Chains A and B, each alone.
Chain A
């Protein structure tokens, strides 16, 4: 084998390695990226049924209840961003930090009937912590703006329910109440 052909072999091997890595990445990006959506976005433009999304918002106070389907407990709760609420069905144990009126992120798919089937529910370790996406969504919907002070206290989100929010959407005071 000549020197030239050996060098060629090396270059071809590198190209195949990195090329296949790039191809796999692009392919996976086109089908496996998980978008974050707020409940109002889900209402406005429901994603296809096979598409996994992350749904984030506040758990509506008083909406958490349970059903029993074939010995398995199913948790149902509503998640709101202040504009609209989506009912989440989750078969599993809710995380220790899951509370009504707190921020939550649910990973799963949207059923044809508009409910959300979660495969995973995330509530963060810290009680005062709010997922970045949820904070961003609150800011967008006018519930809370970081420029006007700290995030509202978790307890005050109890009052943030889907029932009363659509009546006064954009005229909220910055602190969320």
Chain B
């Protein structure tokens, strides 16, 4: 009964989405208030229907309803409850439904939080979201229905890939998808602006919080994914330049550019056409990222299925959404008024530079990702590009980006002088130079040295920015505190996000110095790595809920003092005949001690075990920095200026800018 209810709710949502796509558009064109008022109602209705539908699927998974094919194929009675729930989005059908549900929540959010928008703009934004949602709900219903039944129902399901049974991965997809799908809102704003033929400062101000929110989720999602691959795959690596990872990085890069260029639209009414194009581009990359990857065009471990019907549907849908929006852009963009040009040394000048460099990095990553599949498609050559290619191309572009990033927040709008800015940043530059010198002695790779120095520069200049605004150490502390309280939160948010980038890059540079050893030892033997002595003291079997494991005990000592005891293990899942490796990690926030248990060799009386031992300096900083970036974004979202003082569209009203 419940799966049918879910199926019905999905179909209902699809119909409502279709109505949501058409009626408000007509209403906005005819200035018919009643038709426009349908938009928020339909958006909220669609959201409720899809949440119901998704809840039904979760219910079927929890209650082990193996007559639902999706549950039978991906779940099992013995699976822990948490993974029964999260397993719902661990497969193609469920993840498409999750995708559609998040999109409908975005539509509902625009309906509920966008009451201060002009009704015609709001109606058009919701209509565009409805159109995209209708397409994907139709895709879900016709080619990948998660509620399809099987008969006769099997007694037990086939179980889930053990690699996916991990709390990190359980919450990674919803967060990442929220990031991807969140960019649908700026996209809808861009399309609505093109239909209206009007982009102004108020538009920039409305669109930016949505872009920032999506960016925060995407940043978190990418950081979580990277963390997952670090501790689950057990190779000691954190980013593999896999097509799927790149598919999330590309919209992140253009999304970051969008977040910055929207500031220029808001403050200076310039870069309008470019910002619209970025909004369209970011969502297009998100869409193609999620669906091209999963349709198996880019061959990867993440591909769920290779079904031609799905592929054709998805390609058609992508062509319609992306091609249609670009066509609209080509027709309408010339009618948008262009903003003024501005001097190179100014806040907007540096923001343009930020956009150019981010888009260059994006172009490079896109080329590296798409070149191999195109080569095999066109010429039948199998090649691959990996870490060396991406290191050699992205790092040289990222270094100037970070250098300018340090200046950005300090340079005033319109016309600026370089000298006063330099005077305020001299100490940050000195610290960065010191870091450069120190790093030259410690690291051999020139790119790692430069990355370290620029990362320190970014962090110091963010601190300098805040210190300067608070007049720290030039005024009594009480006065600085007063200033801190009146300073908009967005300023702190931006400084935090920038410092977060610096911390991520420091983590990456630190990881380039990671050491590892692979050893084969008897129980009781010790090995040395990175100044520590690692002793395998015990190996014993253990039983889990749906697996059996072999657990090792490794004691790590520094100069005889016990630092930590690691328990890496190997799990064997009987129902899938699969073995997974459970890494043991001990962190002190400056470095990770990382141990992996490998194969057992020799006779049972005196066996030897292969161990892989890693010492990863600064590794936790990569994810910590990612979280700080997302937190910075969230902090700027909580700024009063985002919530109150809804901008009006009068031409002359200028928002009061607190600098």
Residues of A in contact with B (beta carbons under 8 Å apart) = 1, 3, 6-7, 9-10, 13-14, 17-18, 20-21, 24-25, 27-29, 31-36, 52, 54, 66, 68, 71-73, 91-94, 96-97, 107, 124-125, 127, 132-133, 136
Contacts and interface: CB of A to CB of B under 8 A. Distances in A.
Nearest to B164: A125
A27 B388 CA distance: 12
Given A28-B392, A68-B520, A9 B386 contact: no
A17 B357 contact: yes
Given A28-B389, A72-B517, A132-B299, A20 B384 contact: no
B392 A27 contact: yes
A64 to B, nearest CB: 11
Interface stretch (B66-74, B145-153, B594-602): B594-602
Nearest to B341: A6
Interface SS majority for chain B: mixed
B81 interface: no
16 contacts: A1-B343, A6-B341, A13-B344, A18-B356, A18-B359, A20-B396, A21-B363, A21-B397, A24-B364, A25-B364, A25-B367, A73-B520, A93-B599, A93-B612, A97-B579, A107-B386
A7 B599 contact: no
Given A132-B299, A132-B376, 8 more contacts: A1-B343, A20-B360, A35-B382, A72-B518, A93-B596, A93-B599, A97-B579, A127-B578
A24 B392 contact: yes
Given A25-B393, A28-B388, A132 B382 contact: yes
A24 B393 contact: yes
Given A17-B357, A24-B364, A136 B520 contact: no
Residue of A33, A66, A91, A132 with most chain B CB atoms under a 10 A cut-off: A33
Given A7-B341, A10-B352, A28 B393 contact: yes
A1 B163 CA distance: 60
Contacts of A125: 161, 163, 301
Contacts of B612: 92-93
A107 B383 CA distance: 12
B393 A21 contact: yes
Contacts of A72: 517-520
Contacts of B381: 35
Nearest to A7: B341
Contact of B385 (A27, A34, A133): A34
A7 B368 CA distance: 31
Given A13-B352, A33-B383, A24 B601 contact: no
Interface string B557-591: 00000000000001000000111110000000000
A143 to B, nearest CB: 17
Nearest to A122: B301
Q: Which 10 A-B pairs have the closest CB atoms?
A: A93-B598, A21-B360, A17-B356, A36-B382, A32-B389, A73-B520, A96-B579, A28-B392, A32-B388, A6-B341
A24 B384 contact: no
Nearest to B299: A132
B245 interface: no
B385 A33 contact: yes
B236 to A, nearest CB: 11
A25 B356 contact: no
Contact of B581 (A3, A36, A96, A124): A96
